[in-house]
Structures are given as C-alpha cells and as structure tokens.
Structure 1
C-alpha cells in the first residue's frame, strides 16, 4: 500500500505555495479542511511545533492538540494556543457516537471552500450574558428587511430580544416622564415571524437556555447570508433530540424570509409537538435606558388563518399609520424616513438632557469604507462606476469642507463631532456640544480622499490606498 493511501486527503506544501520544510500555516490547514468537506470549527489539528499550533488557532479550528514527544515544549505549545498537549497520540480517542451528531459542514470540497471558511462567524455554547451581542452580530437581512439572530424558540426578555425591522418603518410615541412630555421616534420592532416552539411533551416547550441542552453551536455564513443553529436536548426521560435550524432573509425577494428546522429523535419514537406562530405583542424594549419611554408602536388590525396556507396578521403603527402584513410572506409599504432624537432621559439622575447623536459625522465615513470593502471583496466594477465612486467622492467632499485650518498650527482640524462610542459628546464644563479631532473621524477622513482619488493605484488594486504623502496637510 502506498503511503498516500493511508489518508483521506493529502495537502503538500506546493498546494499553498509554501516553502519546503515550512510548518503548516493557516492557508494549508484550511485547504485540508476544505478538501475533507469539514468546517474548521468541527475539526482537530495535531501538531508538534509552536508555529503549527499557532496557525491552527488562527484558522479557527475547534480543537488544537500539541504533541510533545520529549516533554520539553509543553508550556510553549500551550502558550501558542494548544487546547491539550500529549506526549503520544495513544492517549487520544474518538467518540464514534458523538461524531454522528455532526454540525453543519461546507459541502464543497474544492479550493473555493477554503475561502468560504473565512466568511463564517462561529459561536459555541450558551452564553446568557453575551446573547444580546450574538443576536445583533448574527442579524440576517437584505438591505430592506432584517431579523436579529434570535433563536426561534425564545421569547423577548432579559436574555433574548427577537427583532424584525424594515427600512423606513418609523413611529413616534409621546411619554410623560417626571413631568416632562417627551416625543420619541423609533425604528419599529415588527411582529415576530420567527416563533417556532417544539417539545416532546404537549404544552411544555423546549428553551435552548434550560438544563438538558448541550452541543449548542451557531454559525453565521456571511457569504450566503444564512444563520445556522444546532443543539442537542435530552429531556427528563432521557429522550435525546438534535435540532438544526436555518434562518435567512431573501436577497432575490426582498419581502421574503424563512426559517427551516430539522428535528432528529435519536433514541425515541413518538409524537413531537411543534407550535408555529406570529407574535404581534412585540415592543421596543431592547435598550434598558429607554425603559421609562413608551415602547408599543403597533395596533392590531386583523388576524386569521388560511388553511392550509397558515397564519396571517395585520398591524398598523400608532402614529405614522404604516400598515404591516405578516404571513407566509411579509409585505411592508412604508415611506422612507429618519429622524435623530433631540433629547434623551438620563436614568442615573432622572433628568432630561440634550441628545447630540446628530453630531456623529463619521457615519458617512463608515458608508464610504463599506462601499470600498464591498468592491474589494466582490470586484463589482459596475456598482463602483454606477453608485459607489460617486458616494465615496461626495462623502470625501463633505469632509473636505468640514475640516478647517487652525492658523496657529497650520494643520486641519475637525471639531464639533461625536465619536462612534456615542458616550463622549462634549467636554466638561462647557455648553458647546461636540469633541475636537476625534481619532476615528480624523483617521478615516485622511483615508477617504486617498481612496476616492485612487492615490496613484489602479482601481482594481487588491489593497487599501496608502495614506497621503507626508507633505499633505492632515487633520490633527
């Protein structure tokens, strides 16, 4: 038998343009995972070098094992990211039963799957304290409709916040707090179409946060715009069920969103109870500081069921009068509107104070940067010619006007802005809002004109333009 026949896949140094004798780097390891058709988060790497362990950790592999045959580099392997260190692989075994409960995998086994692996945002385990951030980062959308990455099984509460939003659906509410009448316009949280409960006992629905849930993992596929979730649940009677779900918001049909769930009973047979619903009792309650303000923006207009099509619900925003229909498809007819709040309620001293959010000039810079990154990732020259270049140029002109020369220093400055942290909006002991020379705003303002002008680089350059030459006048 040839040596290569002992292995399912063989990746040599030439495959990733490595030099002879080089330790495995991230690209080679990702190529191996792609050839096997296995997502890196569900794969293990064994290596006896610190460089190999470091590369495996950087590539996002689920388990990194260091091999210290002589017992002299255990500490070094651990310091470079090894989860475990062994002197021999004889101490390592494979749980065949656990291997059957496999996570979502990359199906393509070509070199393209290696690049695809870099588009995956992975989370493992249940983290109640970090769930809010997870849900926000795992939002799926199409530019018109977006849904936070909340699990279909959960309700809104201290840990979870299912939220669906559509461009232009704003509504204004009025609240009296401590004798002050406050008007507040919000992007409305629309009816929750994700609701999908299940259980092995009728009337008792499984909660992914409860005891009995294990192997919880979710992955946002940024390239496909799809959120995958998987976990295993064992009830009080020992019945084990694996649940795999997929959530997407269609790019082809902007009003269409879907959730697909698969339930796998592993050691039992019987009735599985499933409840699908549309929750119209939603409210804008995500931000704790806004708790004193009114949050229910929707009034019911009608509901029913069209067998065998399913459920439908109609609501209307209370002030702006926007009708929203939710069924198997979601349709939203809305005007495009936006308003920045002018005041906010300080829950620490129970006082109203001005809201200087409108001073966040850097938002335009973030849009320009996103346009450039989109072009760099896709090579979509038609978009750059038709829309992107004009966006970047006009934003660059805006910031060129915003920057003013300081005669004392001969340098340009940008004043009266709020940075992206949204907390520092003025200097102490002054009534004038805004900060001078916010680092993020200034750095991005230096970058943008160079990017818009090309900085001497061809439009198809595969890297960001260098900053302008030192002889240029930069914002402080």
Structure 2
C-alpha cells in the first residue's frame, strides 16, 4: 500500500494510546468511533460520538454548582475479545506480543490491526482485524476479525459485547465534573441479534445499538444484562487455516428522521445489512467519490500523507451526510471530549475549503447558525444590543455554553473563565457567509438575513466617544488577554481585530443587502453603518497596530525564563502571576487581520478610517507580534504560516510543517488524545489553496491566482467546484494552470465542453496505443501531467475546450473521438473539428 495513504502505529505504547485512538478514529459525518482496541483494558479510552447529541449536567466545583453541556459518549459497540484454551481473555498488555501494528488506510477509511502473540502454553496466534464506520450507510459500522493458529489447532473462544457502561471520562481535567450522561439502559435479543438502548438524562435523546455476528457457526444466545449484552462463540481453528468472525452494528437515535423507534430501527437496519465484504465495497466506493472532490496533490510521501490525514479527519467529521443534520463544526471533531464537543469559531478555518468542494455541507453548517438566530437575537436584546449575538461556545440549542470556570492543571486551581467575551465569533460566521457566496455565486435569503443581523449587532456594539466609534468590553482571539491588569471587570477596549473586521462587515453588508432586496436595512441604519465604517477607532504604538487600547502600557515578558512554554497563562498563574500584565499572546490576534484580509484590503480599511498607512506597517506588525506569541493554540502556526508566506517563505514553511504535524506528532503535548484540532486541519488545507496557491475569489465571479509556493514545494494540484463548475488548478514555481491552460484569471463564462464519463478511459486508451507516458503527452499538449492524470483517473464531466483540442493533437485523434464520437455530438464552440493528422509524427 502507498505510504502516502497509510498512517502506521507500530508496537504497543500505553502512554500514547490516547493519541493513537484519536488519530485512528473512524467516522462518516453522522457518528464516529475512536480507535480504541476492541478488547477491554485499562489503557483504552472508548468513545463513540454522534454529531449534535449533547446533554447537560450539574456538577459541584469549588463549592458551587456549575452546569455544563457535553457531547455525549454513546454506548460502546466495539468490544470483542478472545481466548485460547486455558487462557484468560486477551489483553495486549498482559501477553507476550510478537507483533502489534495498526494501519489506518486513509484512501478507503479502514483501520487494520495486526497482532501476533504467544499464550502461556506456547501457542502462537495471528489476529487481523479490519474496522469501518460506513461512509455509504451512515447508520452502520463493522469489525471483522480473522484468526490464524500458527502452531496449534483447537477452539478459540470469542465474546462480543454492546457496552452501555460508558461515561464522559476522556479528558483528565474534566473528571471532577459529572460524566454520567446516559441512563435508562435496556438490553435484549431478537432472532439472534443483540440490542441495547439508553437515554441521555436531560436532553432525553434515545440511542440504540443493534449487532449481528457473522461467524458461519451458531453462537450462544445473546445474554442481556442491565447495561450490556454479550454473546459467546467458539471458533474451531486448524493450524495455518484462517477463520473469520464479523460484527455488524447499527446505531440509531430518536433524532433520526425516519424509523418507528430507535430500537426497532437499529434491529431492522442490522438485520438488512450486507456482509462485511459488501459493506466494505460500498464504503470504499463512497470514499473514492469523496476523494475525487477532495483531491489535493503535493510532492513527497510524508507531506502527502499529512495532507491526506487532514482531509480524512475533516471529512469524517463534516461529510455530505452532515449536510442533512443540524450540527456545527466541533472544534475537536468527533474524535474526543475536549472542549465538550462545542462549536467555537473553527468554522472560519474549515468552511472556505469545504465551500469549494462540498458546498452543500458548508451550507448545512451555515444553516446550523441560522436555526439559532432567534437565540442569538434574544441574547443580544438581553445584553442591550441589536441584531444577533452568537455565543463563543455553542452546543445543541444555541445558548452560551462557555463554562464560567476552568481548571488550571499546572496549579490545580479553578479559575474564572471570561472567554465568552469573544464576540468576534459572529465575524467568523459572517465571513463564511461571504466565502460561500464567492465560491458558489449563491446567496440564499436566510444567509443574507444571518449576515445582516450580525452586522446590526456589531454596529450596536460600537459607541461614539469623541470623534471615534469604540467597541469596549470584549476579548480578541488572543485568549491570554481577558482584562486590564487589576481591573474589577473583564474585557478590553478597541481590540484591533474586532474593530477592523467590524468595518469589513459593515462595508460588505451593503453588497449583501443588494442581493436580498426584501431585507434592505433602513436608510438611517445604512447611514450609521457607513459612518461607523469611516470613524472606527484603531490604536497604534511603536509603528505597529496595537492589539487593543492600552496594550503599549503592558510589561515585556521575560521570554528566556518561559522559553518553550506554550500555555503561558497556566504557567504564570501557577507562579502567582497574571498573563494579563504582559505583552504576550497565546495565538495570532492582530495578525488575524493579515490572515483574513489582503494587504490591499487592510490598508484600504485603515485609509478609509483616516489613518495614514506608513511604509512597512504590515511587516513591522507581523514581526512585532511574532516575537511576543507563545503559540499556545494549534491555530497559531496556521495563521503565522499564512502571514509570513510572502515575506519570509522559509519561516512560513516551518510554521506550515508545524501545523501540518500538529496532531500527528502531538506538538501541544497530550492534547491530541482528547480530540484532533479540526480548525488547524482545515486551516492547513485552506492555506495550501488560498495562500500558497494565491487563490482569490472575487464578487464578480472571477478567480484570481497568484501562487508563491514555498521553495520545498514542487507541484500543487487540486480540483475545486466554483460557481457549480469543477475546474482543475495546478501550479509550480514557474506558472499556474487552470484546466491545463496557463493563466492567472478564470471566469465561469469561459468555454468548456461536456464529456460523457468515459473521457478518461479514452485518453488512456489512446495514450497506451501510442506507447506514450503521461509526462510526454502532457508536454506535447502543453499541460501539466497532474491535469492529465486528473482527466484520466477522475473522468470529469467537463473539460476546457482549448486543452481538449491540444490533447487530441498530441494523441493523434480527434475531439469527437475523445468525446465518444457519434453523430449529432456538437463540437466545442469556437473551434471547429480538429482533423486527424495524416502526416508522420515526429516526437
């Protein structure tokens, strides 16, 4: 198998099992299961999470009652263990392991485990397991186990279980909080099928699992207990002959749109489910379709593998199945319980990539926000503002789910949490509405309503002080800076990111209103928005943009003392100090402006506000804050790689590699085990397309490409879906090509022609008949080999007409023949028929 498509974990390292489990999570956008071992042992952290299933519990913390809403850890469908004669049930940490390996097949979405062990009687057995969470049928999952006795023959006992004895215990610092979200367990058996149901305590969502065991021989009748149900099977192994058992599982909930009830639905689905091999075939085919749209080619096996890992986990959390659900973008995916499964602002890093490949999924995520518009409007009214105020942490209902206290593991103290003051989450939602419009050319009225209500909120946040509008009492993206030193109340004044992006928001609100005439704001409202967008306050100091008013008065930190410490807030608090006293950032804050806006956009806004932009302002600002950032968030490396791409390519590359390997190598030191960082993964993919490729989407429907690849890149290639048309972009250090044609701009009106699904096969047949390599044909057709590979392998429905004519010449055939021939097929417009050459060819 190509190493670029395989993530391997060799050996058993109990200290890193949590990391491996998170990275080996399998999901389909509806639910996901961590890569925990099927046999129960003390080192595993099982987790199955369904998108949008939350529950609320009260806990007593530091003498007071706090309420937290969590994404619920659902009953465990995985448990399956085995025993050789006279031995205990297999546990990898208790036996003599001869081989132990996990391989995650990223192309097909399959986790493979290979185990070889010797029991206490000298018997050596090989076990191979394959696991999937079906991307074809989002209700099904399966585990296949194949045993091979290498030096013995005899019975192998197997026990399969559905286990409801789970709780939210996946994050150590949350273990002082309640995690017993499930209650009302029931189990049973029906026609040899086992089932288990449970209900969330507060939200009252019923969850059902049903399992079928395919072993070729009858097993014991499932034995129901109060909160688990098991069946035992005896497989007769002959030396050297493999024997297979498969566990097919269905997971349903009371939130599903169809089904009489979850239990009968789960039982019916698992009864009708095909064999493991057929499930695998449909699942692999579904992944193949996803990869056609998500293809992103870079040079080098290690780099390609890391990119594939990011695409893979993004699509396992946010697949086309997600579009049908009422869910947002959980910051840690469906991979663990960190941040309690809440939705923050990570969608801003994820959706620009999705909108150009899976716009229906991106639209579904925007709909999650729109459905919570009434709650956001109520929150704004309650706080004394207009429009819609979205919460920093969102869950099931759209209320503010940010905890009021958090535990500092470095000191063991519970501290106030003021991060709910990050009002800028609304700016992220509006930004994604705009990006969706640029990618698709579509602005549903409800999207315009969402955008305009966010604009109303930020306009009402701005109050006139002297001759400038100010926004006070907020936090920016830098979560270290929550208050002024010694202040009685939290919040900062005139955070530059919030203020400047508010100006951006109000400027674009005019364009959004023009797309939805029935929602046009009043003349007075439009006039005030315009006034704010010309007189918003921004502070400066030392020739750079100030992060907020008063930032210049903060102390400089002794960075040598805290070298390598990513979470300065925790370290300083443990030392009896306060990070609010220092010019120190957790992650990019002011520099987020350079991430979201081009240099021209940023300087244009500052000039609109009447601030003279001195030469070198942006690079000075980048350098200033880079020197004062601890990178305590995985998002920080993404943003810094972006903002340095044009000024310091070597440093940009280092940050990009850190972001790319952030979860794979667990650079934050233990956090990946609690769930992958979805925003950072989406951000690296968006960085490749919009930053390194220089892809700029314009309101007039044009694409502008201005690539500047890092020196270590060879070729960067990808298909995107722009205004309903799939186009292929690839670039190297010399030029950029769209559909095989060198160009810097592209418009949806450009001539392309339709294929019939067999174009790729015809190209391959012609090329092989002539005995030509892809590289040679691509050279003769004046296109990249990546684009030719795309045509041959993906069979696109449309292709650039000019490229098709050049290709027909290179292959000594005609356009009609490549398009399938046949009478009545019109030639691509503007070209006429490309005649078959009769003169000898010279290569």
Q: Normalization by structure 2: what TM-score? A: 0.35
Matching residue of 2:405: 343
* Counterpart residue number, 2:440: 385
**2:540 maps to which residue?**
407
- Relative to structure 1, the CA distance from residue 457 to residue 330 in structure 2 (aligned partners, 3 Å threshold; closer, same or farther) is same
**2:15 is the counterpart of 1:129:** yes
Q: Say if 1:126 and 1:216, in contact at 8 Å, map to a contact too.
A: yes
Q: Which residue of 2 aligns with 1:311?
A: 194
Aligned length: 329
Equivalent residue for 2:50?
166
Aligned counterpart, 2:251? 330
**Equivalent residue number for residue 5 of structure 2:** 119
C-alpha distance in 2 between matches for 1:436 and 1:415: 13
Query: Compared with structure 1, are the counterparts of its residues 343 and 211 closer, same or farther at alpha carbon in structure 2 (3 Å cutoff)?
Result: same
Q: How does 1:57-456 map to 2 (within 5 A)?
A: 106=1, 116-155=2-41, 157=42, 159-201=43-85, 204-308=88-192, 310-327=193-210, 328-334=249-255, 336=327, 337-338=395-396, 339-346=401-408, 351-356=413-418, 358=420, 359=422, 385=440, 401=501, 405-408=538-541, 411-412=544-545, 424=569, 438-440=586-588, 445-449=593-597, 451=690, 453-454=696-697, 456=704
Whether contact under 8 Å (1:425, 1:433) holds in the other structure is: no
Deviation sequence 1:236-255 (CA, Å, 0-9, x none): 11111111111111112222
Bigger relative CO (Cα 8 Å, ≥ 6 apart) = 2
Note the C-alpha offset of 1:278: 0.7
Measured against aligned partners, the alpha-carbon deviations of 1:278-312 in whole angstroms (never above 9, x if no partner) come to 1101011122222222121100342101232x211
> What is the deviation of 1:405?
3.7
Contact residue 362 and residue 441 of structure 1 kept, 8 A? no
CA contact (8 A) 1:426 1:434 kept: no
Query: 1:408 Cα deviation (Å)?
Result: 3.2
Distance 2:39 2:78 in 1: 8
CA contact 2:8–2:101 (8 Å) conserved in 1 = yes
Alpha carbons of 1:286 and 1:268: their partners in 2 closer, same or farther (altered >3 Å)?
same
CA distance in 2, matches of 1:229, 1:387: 45
Deviation at 1:204, TM superposition (A): 1.9
Q: Secondary structure at the match of 1:242?
A: strand
Looking at structure 2, the residues matched to 464 and 444 of structure 1 have their Cα atoms a distance apart, in angstroms, of: 27
The Cα of 1:322 is off from its aligned counterpart by 1.1
Contact in 2 for aligned 1:425/1:434 (Cα 8 Å): no
Contact 1:426/1:435 (CA < 8 Å) preserved in 2? Answer: no
* Larger CA deviation: 124-133 vs 179-188: 179-188
Query: Match of 2:696, SS?
Result: helix
Counterpart-to-counterpart distance in 2, 1:232 and 1:238: 12
Evaluate the alpha carbon distance shift between residue 333 and residue 239 of structure 1 in structure 2; reply closer, same or farther with a 3 A threshold. Answer: same
Decide whether the 8 Å contact of 1:122 with 1:219 is kept in 2. yes
Q: Residue in 1 aligned with 2:340?
A: none
Q: 1:132 to 1:177 in 2, by over 3 A?
A: same
Q: Residues 432, 201 of structure 1: CA spacing in aligned structure 2 closer, same or farther, 3 A cutoff?
A: same
Distance 1:364 1:257 in 2: 38
- The 2-side partners of 1:185 and 1:141 are apart by 22
Q: Which runs of 5+ in 1 are unaligned?
A: 1-105, 107-115, 373-380, 466-476
Q: Give the secondary structure class of the aligned counterpart of 2:22.
A: helix
Cα deviation for residue 209 of structure 1 reads 2.0
How far off its partner does 1:332 sit?
2.4
- What TM-score, normalized to structure 1? 0.59
**Structure 1 pair 387/161, CA: closer, same or farther in 2 (3 Å)?**
farther
Q: Which residue of 1 aligns with 2:244?
A: none
**Alignment RMSD, CA only?**
4.3
Q: Deviations 1:428-459 (Å, cap 9, x if unpaired)? A: 76696998765445666534445373593077
The structure carrying a bigger strand percent of its residues is: 1
The structure with the largest alpha-carbon Rg is: 2
Cα deviation, residue 462, structure 1: 3.6
Shift of 1:320: 1.3
1:147 is displaced (CA, Å) by 0.8
